[in-house]
């Protein structure tokens, strides 16, 4: 290209953690697309060659050596064509760094080392990486590029140093996981960097699921002044070619495609579908099963699973007892039929009676209660795990965030399973998500369009059906009240006094707080699940199991 033009190919792709050769093959394919398109440089996200986050795997010297060897080989394979920028580890002396490798002409021509290491929410990078001095810009053809790696662009010192040392554009490779509202936060911060430096900025984000985290892509480019020049899709792999031209005021990005951004309901749903799809695919699992109770939570999980891997790969199992209503049986059948999933029925009365008989000498003279109720749930877990073992189908759990928060679930019963898409979705959002899915269908959904969750399932009072006429509200505050309290206590870390000042009853707030702390031991043993917020249970919120402190406000 002429000296006043530069084409940058952005590869918003989905790596698999630890699949070094597969990730390198993806990088080579993207580089080839850029080469065909006449690119000067092809860029991939932060730590792409290893996948992200590696957690303590990156501390293994053998893994470090393998990753760096793959990058050196990638430089040779991509010698004849555009430069390639790709994230990966770098070891220098006793230091291990989160690095961005610049490959050109068969060689490693530069490495940019991450300066600011995040140590909040799901990140504890200082545990594994060393903070490096700020790296300067590097030249590719006519252009001097500054690369603040992810967190480095959230602080003004790195971008200011790059601008002062001659950078003409900023290329920011990221492994930034999804959380509700995170996209707006990213854009606002990057606009600040653009205004401060007066440089164009490209924000290139990873896409795909890794354990509980979902990287949502949504890469974009900004021109000086903050105008949007490119918007890539969210939650989907994409490659875009972005042209820069140099004029009297310096380099500018030419206007490219601006993909529309879906609303928060669609983004949450897509996150749950993608996280489950990748958790299965990257683990080598092709089929799932779940207990379909006729209630709203299991119905939503069945829909998510069908959209993730197709209804033909989803087995639903109804496990009725004599407390199961006819309505629930009919509703479970209606959900499975609407989705096109297989439905098996395995009654639990016989196993329950057998367990009751075995325990009768020890339980003699004691009134039936919670222990007998939980036997039913644990028998369901046992039977579902037996099916999982027999047929190689991973069991999904179906508890929502409200239940997970207060421990309204049975350990080794309905908590049994390998993954929980609803783990960070409050019950009140479950209702609205079901309504959204009934009204919307997208090309990335493998399940059927239309009303897949009957309105009666959404509208009926929630019940565990472990005793006659049981309702959730017999044991818990109404879900709108419970979720509002939990959102303040868990998501916003408010004190009891602050929650009460917002209009909630003191006794109810204290009870909910006690349930949250008291359920920590259950959450410690629970299945991983999709992270939708910055207050998800696991890495975002790390509390002790044994804890006698309670807020006396």
Q: Which positions are annotated as active-site residues?
A: 46, 114, 150
The residue among 303, 331, 479, 495 whose CA lies nearest residue 408 is: 479
3-state DSSP call for residue 210? strand
Report residue 192 as tokens: 């600040």
> In which element (H, E) is residue 222 found?
strand 220-222
d(CA 343, CA 298): 13
Residues 6 or more apart whose CB falls under 8 angstroms from that of 511 comprise none
Bridging pattern class, strands 228-231 and 220-222: antiparallel
What is residue 246's three-state secondary structure? strand
Cβ contact 391:360 at 8 Å? no
Pairing of strands 143-146, 169-174: parallel
Angle between helices 427-439 and 264-281 (to 10 degrees): 90
End-to-end C-alpha distance for the chain, whole angstroms: 67
Q: Which of 175, 195, 194, 176 is nearest to 185 (CA)?
A: 176
Give CA torsion, residues 422, 547, 118, 426, to 10 deg. Answer: 20
Closest CA to 509 of 518, 497, 517, 519: 497
């Amino acid at each position: 290209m002429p000296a006043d033009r530069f084409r940058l190919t952005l590869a918003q792709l989905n790596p698999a953690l630890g699949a070094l050769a597969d990730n390198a093959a993806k990088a080579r394919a993207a580089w080839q697309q850029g080469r065909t398109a006449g690119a000067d440089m092809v860029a991939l996200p932060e730590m792409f060659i290893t996948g992200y986050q590696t957690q303590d795997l990156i501390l293994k010297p053998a893994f470090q050596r393998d990753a760096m060897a793959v990058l050196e080989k990638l430089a040779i394979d991509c010698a004849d064509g555009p430069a390639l920028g790709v994230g990966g580890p770098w070891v220098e002396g006793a230091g291990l760094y989160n690095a961005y490798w610049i490959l050109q002409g068969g060689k490693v021509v530069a490495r940019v080392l991450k300066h600011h290491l995040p140590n909040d929410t799901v990140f504890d990078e200082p545990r594994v990486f060393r903070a490096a001095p700020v790296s300067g810009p590097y030249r590719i053809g006519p252009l001097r590029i500054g690369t603040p790696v992810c967190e480095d662009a959230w602080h003004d010192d790195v971008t200011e140093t790059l601008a002062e040392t001659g950078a003409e554009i900023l290329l920011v490779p990221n492994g930034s996981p999804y959380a509700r509202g995170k996209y707006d936060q990213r854009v606002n911060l990057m606009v600040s960097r653009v205004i401060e430096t007066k440089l164009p900025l490209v924000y290139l984000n990873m896409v795909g699921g890794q354990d509980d985290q979902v990287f949502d892509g949504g890469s974009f480019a900004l021109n000086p002044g903050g105008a949007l020049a490119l918007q890539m899709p969210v939650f989907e792999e994409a490659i875009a070619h972005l042209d820069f031209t140099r004029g009297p005021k310096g380099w500018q990005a030419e206007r490219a495609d601006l993909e529309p951004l879906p609303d928060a309901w669609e983004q949450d749903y897509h996150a749950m579908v993608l996280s489950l799809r990748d958790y299965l695919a990257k683990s080598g699992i092709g089929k799932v099963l779940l207990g379909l109770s006729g209630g709203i939570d299991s119905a939503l999980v069945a829909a998510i699973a069908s959209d993730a891997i197709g209804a033909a790969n989803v087995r639903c199992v109804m496990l009725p007892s004599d407390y199961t209503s006819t309505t629930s049986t009919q509703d479970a059948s209606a959900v499975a039929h609407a989705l096109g999933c297989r439905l098996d029925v395995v009654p639990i009365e016989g196993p329950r009676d057998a367990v009751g008989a075995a325990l009768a000498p020890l339980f003699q003279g004691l009134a039936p209660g919670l222990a007998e109720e939980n036997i039913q749930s644990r028998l369901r877990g046992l039977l579902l795990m037996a099916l999982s073992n027999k047929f190689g189908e991973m069991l999904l759990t179906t508890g929502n965030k409200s239940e997970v928060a207060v421990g309204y679930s049975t350990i080794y019963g309905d908590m049994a399973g390998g993954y929980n898409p609803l783990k960070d979705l409050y019950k009140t959002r479950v209702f609205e998500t079901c309504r959204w899915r009934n009204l919307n269908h997208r090309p990335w959904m493998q399940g059927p369009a239309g009303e897949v969750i009957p309105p009666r399932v959404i509208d009926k009072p929630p019940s565990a059906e472990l005793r006659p006429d049981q309702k959730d509200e017999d044991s818990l505050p109404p879900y709108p009240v419970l979720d509002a309290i939990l959102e303040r206590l868990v998501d916003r870390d408010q004190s009891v006094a602050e929650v009460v000042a917002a209009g909630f009853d003191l006794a109810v707030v204290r009870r909910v707080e006690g349930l949250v702390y008291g359920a920590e031991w259950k959450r410690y043993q629970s299945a991983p699940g999709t992270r939708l917020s910055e207050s998800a249970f696991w890495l975002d919120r790390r509390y002790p199991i044994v804890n006698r402190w309670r807020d006396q406000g």
